[in-house]
């Protein structure tokens, strides 16, 4: 099993409504077979080492094959292109993806 973590720096002007819609769309990705465990976090570190990342979300992938399917899945592509990338502060410089075994 894999843990898929995504750290993002969202634009300063994003509204609570847009954040809620983004979370809803990301949660819908659990409908992809083998994808589960969606969680959403807001950074509250006081250390000053977050490098601008304001939110993190994660999923579990049943296998490496599940991850391959997820990356290419049309629903994933739509959520990334329509709901995530438009709200990143500095385009792809504002995202970090970190996957690991669990």
Task: Write out the chain's pLDDT in tens, 102 residues.
Answer: 999 999 999 999 999 999 999 999 999 999 999 999 999 999 999 999 999 999 999 999 999 999 999 999 999 999 999 999 999 999 999 999 999 999
Give the separation between CA 4 and CA 6, rounded to whole angstroms. 7
Q: Which CATH number is 2-54+61-101 given?
A: 3.30.70.100
Rounded to two decimals, the pTM is 0.93
For position 87, what pLDDT does the model report? 97
| Distance, CA of 83 to CA of 46 (rounded, Å) | 28
Q: What is the pLDDT of residue 92?
A: 93
- What is the residue extent of each domain of the chain? 2-54+61-101
Q: State the pLDDT at residue 69.
A: 97
Sign of CA dihedral 42, 96, 38, 84: positive
């Amino acid at each position: 099993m894999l843990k898929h973590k995504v750290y993002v720096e969202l634009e300063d002007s994003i509204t609570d409504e847009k954040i809620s819609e983004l979370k809803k769309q990301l949660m819908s990705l659990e409908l992809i077979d083998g994808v589960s465990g969606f969680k959403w976090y807001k950074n509250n570190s006081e250390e000053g080492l977050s490098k601008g990342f304001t939110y993190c979300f994660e999923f579990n992938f049943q296998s490496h094959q599940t991850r391959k399917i997820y990356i290419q899945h049309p629903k994933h592509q739509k959520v990334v292109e329509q709901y995530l990338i438009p709200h990143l502060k500095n385009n792809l410089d504002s995202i970090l993806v970190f996957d690991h075994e669990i």
